[in-house]
Amino acid sequence: MSYRELRWYFVAHREDRAAFQAYLAKRRERSPRVITTVDDPDFDVKIQTAICHQMAQHQK
C-alpha cells in the first residue's frame, strides 16, 4: 500500500491500531533524518556537509 493510500485508510479507520503503526513507520521512512541540533558546536559544518551531499546526490 502506498503512503497516500495508507494515510487515507487510516483517516477512514482511526481505530485500526495496526494501520496507525504502519502509517507511522512509512512516515518515518519519508522523514529526513536529524543531522544536528542547534546547540551543537559543529552545527555549521554538519549543515554544509549535508547540503553538499544532497547536491551531489541530485547531480548524479
At residue 25, the pLDDT reads 87
* 26 touches 6 (CB < 8 A): yes
At residue 2, the pLDDT reads 85
* 10 touches 23 (CB < 8 A): yes
Using a 10 angstrom Cβ sphere, with 0-12 exposed, 13-18 middle and 19 or more buried, the burial of residue 36 is: middle
Q: Tens of pLDDT along the chain (60 residues)?
A: 888 898 899 899 999 999 989 888 888 888 777 888 989 999 999 999 988 988 887 776
